[in-house]
């Protein structure tokens, strides 16, 4: 458990783009400040903070110090009232290494293969979870289950969350290809196919195994019956694996991400693209044949993550959008238009509410290829939602779009998902305030927050050191696996560790850097994936 007292003077501990807005936060009344060269103490910029405002989420007054006028590349600190901040850089491309690290994290999540020292460094480990899985309720039916990414701090693999993570990465590549020119490297790196597509393919090939060959539906998840102990390395987790029953939510996500993959991989591997599209169409037929399906619930003897989702309209909507965008088939367009009339969130990006992926797929298809009335309506709804987020940002001491109630389990996913949405609004609406607000969310993730933590392992002056992540606990390496986005403050205090140590804390301070805090300090692929998307926008 971390006992380090947070500084009240907080910055983005990685740094700031030279040409963009720059500011720090000071958790009490401010005043005159200086930006000094970290190596010499020489003053590079001087200014005055804005008056302090009470921040409800943090429970403290917060002053903002703006130093946008400083654009000279270098390494700096802020100095105010005798205190000095973490060092940070000002640079033309400050997030390139961070971006590679966030993407490399998916390699560390790989299941079913040896992570060799050449690529994994001290976090290498043997191949894991190679046994065939049992189809739950059919004990004599076993299927290949190897591959894919471990979902989180545990070793389960889940269709819907996996599809969200792949979708974020494929969208990032599609919209910001310049961010992926660097080699990670990965075992598959070949100088031809971008590494992000190699990494996504590793998950996609496993997702293909989650399609029931008998029906075309997608199994909801593949897990052991219970979680292993926290210090168990993946290769030592030898309990039997189970394919849990097909669900509509999983099948909709599967159809959508496979249609998306078919489009993006077409330029690199036509045979793989065909395989993905055929799988997407089979899954879509299952959805048509099963218009009303109960939401997934764990069987009584299963204690792993449920990812229950009673609403499947959003997943069907996403699937129709991606299949239409990939094929141009009017039957998918008509299905999308019908689903668009239904009431469900159409601009949420979470694993349970996937509607925004459908809306964005439709908008990205362009007004010339879509129903102009529906296109205009969805664009207006996107910009309206983004304006609501801007309004929240303007009232928040740290400039992000979380209300006090939004500090929930996985609040950093909410932060990055909303930054994604702001960047999409910037793409379609062009208002620079959307882009600047998204960058403020990056600043928050990397240390400019109420606790002075970089919420990405291995990056920043004061990163999280004790994530709830079994390989990081069990590998006997002092440093955790790098590049992992952790869940963040959670006002619900949903684990015993948080309940013991965080009673009475303000929402933005409900976090403890302790491996036992699974409700605040766990990691997952779908917290990393929106971070990759958002940071991609700011990588040259």
> Do 460 and 13 meet the contact criterion of CB atoms below 8 Å apart?
yes
CA-closest candidate to residue 2, choices 411, 408, 514: 514
* Residue 472 phi, psi dihedral angles, 5° rounding: -70, -30
> For residues 351 and 7, what is the distance between their CA atoms, to the nearest angstrom?
34
Instruction: Extract the tokens encoding 453.
Output: 């933590």
CA-closest candidate to residue 504, choices 518, 493, 520: 493
Query: What does the DSSP 8-state code read for residue 395?
Result: H
Torsion-angle region of 41 (φ positive above 0: left; ψ -120 to 50: alpha; else: beta): left
> For residues 528 and 417, what is the distance between their CA atoms, to the nearest angstrom?
10
Give catalytic residue positions.
468, 513, 522
Burial of 304 from C-beta contacts in 10 A (0-12 / 13-18 / 19+): buried
Place of tokens 């959307």: 434
Residues forming beta bridges with residue 152, ordered by sequence position: 524
> For residues 149 and 187, what is the distance between their CA atoms, to the nearest angstrom?
15
> For residues 186 and 466, what is the distance between their CA atoms, to the nearest angstrom?
26
> For residues 22 and 12, what is the distance between their CA atoms, to the nearest angstrom?
9
* Residue 138 phi, psi dihedral angles, 5° rounding: -130, 75
Our CA angle for 292, 297, 300, nearest 5°, is 140
> For residues 422 and 400, what is the distance between their CA atoms, to the nearest angstrom?
11
Torsion-angle region of 480 (φ positive above 0: left; ψ -120 to 50: alpha; else: beta): beta
> For residues 437 and 389, what is the distance between their CA atoms, to the nearest angstrom?
9
Query: What does the DSSP 8-state code read for residue 127?
Result: -
Own/partner pairs, 105-108, CB within 8 angstroms, 24+ separation = 105/481, 105/482, 105/483, 105/484, 105/485, 105/528, 106/149, 106/165, 106/169, 106/199, 106/202, 106/203, 106/525, 106/528, 107/184, 107/186, 107/199, 108/471, 108/481, 108/483, 108/484
């Amino acid at each position: 458990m971390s006992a380090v007292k947070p500084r009240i003077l907080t910055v983005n501990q990685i740094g700031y783009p030279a040409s963009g807005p720059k500011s720090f936060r000071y958790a009490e009344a401010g005043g005159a400040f200086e930006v000094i060269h970290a190596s010499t103490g020489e003053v590079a910029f001087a200014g005055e903070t804005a008056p302090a405002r009470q921040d409800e989420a943090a429970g403290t007054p917060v002053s903002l110090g703006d130093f946008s006028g400083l654009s000279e590349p270098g390494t700096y600190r802020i100095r105010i009232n005798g205190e000095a901040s973490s060092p940070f850089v000002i640079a033309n491309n400050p997030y390139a290494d961070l971006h590679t690290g966030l993407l490399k994290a998916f390699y560390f999540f790989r299941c079913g293969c040896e992570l060799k020292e050449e690529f994994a460094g001290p976090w290498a480990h043997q191949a894991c979870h190679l046994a065939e899985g049992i189809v739950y309720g059919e004990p004599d039916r076993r299927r290949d289950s190897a591959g894919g990414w471990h979902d989180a701090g545990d070793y389960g693999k889940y269709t819907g969350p996996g599809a969200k993570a792949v979708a974020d990465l494929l969208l990032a590549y599609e919209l910001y290809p310049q961010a992926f020119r660097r080699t990670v490297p990965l075992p598959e790196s070949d100088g031809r196919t971008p590494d992000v597509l190699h990494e996504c393919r590793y998950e996609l090939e496993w997702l293909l195994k989650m399609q029931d060959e008998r029906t075309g539906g997608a199994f909801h998840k593949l897990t052991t019956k219970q979680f292993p102990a926290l210090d168990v390395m993946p290769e030592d987790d030898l309990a039997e694996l189970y394919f849990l029953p097909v669900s509509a939510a999983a099948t909709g996500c599967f159809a959508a991400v496979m249609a998306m993959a078919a489009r993006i991989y077409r330029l690199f591997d036509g045979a793989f693209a065909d395989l993905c599209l055929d799988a997407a169409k089979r899954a879509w037929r299952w959805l048509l044949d099963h218009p009303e399906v109960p939401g997934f619930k764990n069987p009584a003897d299963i204690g792993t993550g449920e990812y229950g989702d009673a609403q499947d309209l959003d997943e069907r909507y996403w699937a129709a959008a991606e299949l239409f965008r990939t094929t141009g088939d009017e039957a998918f367009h008509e299905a999308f238009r019908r689903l668009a009339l239904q009431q469900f969130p159409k601009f949420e990006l979470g694993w349970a509410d996937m509607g925004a992926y459908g809306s964005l797929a439709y908008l990205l298809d362009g007004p010339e290829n879509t129903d102009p009335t529906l296109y205009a309506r969805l664009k207006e709804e996107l910009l309206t939602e983004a304006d609501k987020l801007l309004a929240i940002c303007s009232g928040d001491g740290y400039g992000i779009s979380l209300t006090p109630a939004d500090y929930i389990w996985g609040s950093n996913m909410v932060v990055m998902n909303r930054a994604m949405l702001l960047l999409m609004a910037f793409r379609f609406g062009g208002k620079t305030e959307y882009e600047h607000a998204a960058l403020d969310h990056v600043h928050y993730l990397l240390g400019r927050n109420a606790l002075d933590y970089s919420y990405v392992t291995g990056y920043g002056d004061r990163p999280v050191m004790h994530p709830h992540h079994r390989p990081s606990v069990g590998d006997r390496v002092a440093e955790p696996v790098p590049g992992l986005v952790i869940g963040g403050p959670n006002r619900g205090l949903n684990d015993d560790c948080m309940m013991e140590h965080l009673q009475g804390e303000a929402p933005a301070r409900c976090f403890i850097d302790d491996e036992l805090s699974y409700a605040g300090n766990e990691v997952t692929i779908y917290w990393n994936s929106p971070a990759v998307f958002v940071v991609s926008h700011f990588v040259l």
